[in-house]
Chains A and B, each alone.
Chain A
Amino acid sequence: MIQLLPLALLGAVLGLDVVSFPQAMISRPLVAATAAATLLGDPVRGLLIGATLEMFALETLPFGASRYPEWGSAAVVGGGLFAMRPDGPGTFAVAVLIALVAAWVGSWSMVQVRKLNARLARARHEDVAGGSKRVVEGLQVFGLTADLVRGGVLTAALLALAVPTHEFVLGRWGSDPRVSSAVVVSLAASVAAGAVWKVVHAAPAARWLLLGGIGIGLALLATR
């Protein structure tokens, strides 16, 4: 449990980055999972799961008021879980699944904070309409604090649930490690390929550039 505290603090800071402050994308899985695993002494495993989660995250861009997954605390959960366990047949697959579910739960928790902010803004409407500096700044500080607490509590709760779940599932794992790994990577790369296409398809010659890029990538692989 002591091990979870630094991860919860990291989840708080990275959860805050998703929307509230400073949106520098330190909450993207590539960074967040690596940071979590680095705290546990294994940055390379963090980068591996971070890159995999980043492929999923390519599809979920934070457009306006739309509801999108919260990758900051989710990637801390995924990176932390993957770095905690020695390599096993299902370690990677289960850590990725738990991180994806955590991103979903995180999305719900962001909506709750936004609703809380709205309730407070409604209650303080008269003061805001009167130009109260104290209230305008207070609403901002409250929202930032609530989001910080949300990220920390969420990460701690998810890790507290995920660690025993991870252990339980891995204790009963019956699939071949090659198949387990192939399934996760196929899903992640399929989502990433679809996402890249979604983003670039309207640009002139994008189809050919994407196909050309894939060709170059495959040729580089063949020469390795």
Chain B
Amino acid sequence: MTKKKIAVAALAGTVIAGFISFSAVGQGMAPGPFTAEQAGGGHTLYLTNCSACHGADLGGAGEAPQLAGTSFISSWGSRNTDELYNLVRTSMPYGNGGSLDNATYQSIVAYVLSANGAKPGAKAFTGAESIKIGSIANGQVPAAALAAQPPAARGRAGGRAAGAITYYPAGRLGQTVDGVLKEYRPVTDEMLAHPADGDWLMYRRNYQGWSYSPLTQINTSNVKTLQLAWVWAMNEGGASEVTPIVHDGVMFLSNTSNTVQALDAKTGELIWENRLGPRPTRAYGATRSLALYGDKIFVPTTDAKLYALDAKTGKVVWQSVIADASEGYSNTGGAIAIHGKILVGLTYCNRYETKHCYISAYDANTGKVVWRFQTIALKGEPGGDTWNNLPDEFRQGAETWIAGTYDPENNTTYWGTAQAKPWTRASRGSANGAALYSSATLALDPDTGKLKWYYSHAPGESFDLDEVFERVLVDHGADKSLLTVGKVGVLWKLNRETGKFEGAAQTVFQNLYAKIDPKTGVPTYRKDILDQKVGDWMASCPGPAGGHDWPATSYDPHNDLMVIPLDQSCVLMQPEAMEKKIGVGGDAGSQKLYLMPGTDGNMGRLTAYNTATLQAAWTLQQKAPFLTGVLTTAGGVAYVGDFDRRFRAIDTKTGRTLWKTRLGTSVQGHVVSFAADGKQYIAVETGLGGGSPVGKPTTLLPGLHHPGDGQAIYVFALPDE
């Protein structure tokens, strides 16, 4: 027996003793359909397979819900044990549902029930027992359930459990491949404002967030001959939705485990690699983008740090802490470099704390923090009266999941914010207040962090339908606009100098808003939504996958078309009770899904909108949702990938498919184009994870399959002449 197995066996013995001892907790209720031995073994298996996401204390983190306490019972008390078992068995571990044996799932469910106060019975749980959970468990977590944990596993979600969690990649962290770029031209403000045609220097390529390449070599006439140039397997483990960054023929690639690689963009040869760590869990994502400035690469990491690497070698120049990862904070949204400052957001601000989410800026040379802008309005501050007088510590959310955009002419950076937490008004107690600055556009001075204006798109949002995604800057003569579309699927157009509403278009079916004021854009919610109480199931179209989610839009200035990936599904959402207590918190909403009316079962929708008129030019629908950001090009071709492994080229003007291929797994991430030695390339990621845009079709479209591994970068080009 290995040392590890001996340790696990010893732990199991301790745990079983603990479970037998707290069998009195659920007195007065019927015994649960499991044994003490099963629950004890399930505790060990839970720590090994589940605690990395749900926390050793079952407290949940990010999108992983609480599995014990008030929130769990609020969600599951009226449902049955077989449904819980079926859910766990078919969908867990996240991204690898069904990969464990049935006995493991049975034991884990037994542990979860016992950790919610259910007392053990005489028979082992098989998964077939259909018993109302509220009749055997009360959500009171027995002290022994946590006391029996190994010390390393106690504490908040940030404290990762000991045990046999699968980590990626295998091997050591740190600088794992040494190499030196022979030549590297430092990136200047001028380069960022006017990027060379063959470069892709930031998340959406230009400061305006267009995801548009001026390259024309691949066009509507020849794209049908596109072929694979090279492919590079990436780290597995964790969500990955990356944007390859390319400068002077070198591709900088972020992987899970906060691994950064420099590759020859023409051949795919690795030049250097730095595995910054920490190693990810299955739900722990890679950053969506890196930022370049001067002679450095900036890496916001999943443990809420900001690293500056020497672009030539990949070695760490400095490291700065954005927020304390042990409290659950993270960054997966990337960064933007403006005037020698690196601006980053913050995510997973969904627990009740005295701290709140913020956008922050760091000196590119030193890593010293320059400013912070808190995205939650507190009592006594402007906007602080929009939270129904909630104490400051219970005002959470407003994360920034995607790096902002920037207008160099008016020196303003634009960021979107996520919804308030918990998700529903009923759970968080914010009544009909706007809960500023959640679900809003923020216009900030990039030098000081001072707020210039804000626009609240969804005041008092209540269905996990945030408006956090890319802000796209478009000019029509003197009219300087900002366009954005969020999960509700409303395409918003604002004057980006004043924040004034200019117009809106509905891109998918929605039934939340009874109307949108044509002058102000303020939506009026359906009355029953305003009246929703904890425990009330209520319908919302779209559901939490959107509408529009993180697969980003692209703006083609030549055709004045914005091409928008959209998702068509609906949700029944049930607000859960949430104890108002520091350290508690989360999303607190149960969900049941269904396909959107009028879609013929097609979850995928791609629509091109004229940004001057907000009129749709064309629409493409299909069963599989589109999962990449769109790339448009001066060659008249748009590129997009989907959940069903297809990657295609489309005529931007007409929506007609010109070329398509099928890749190793789900095609997601952000498509880019670059040039090396005079040749144009198209790069796209196959990736996994990614929250609702991936999770919802996994539930709703069980007939579509893709492998649970296969993260990679595929690079395409025309054949050599």
- Chain A partners chain B: no
Interface residues of A (CB under 8 A from B): none
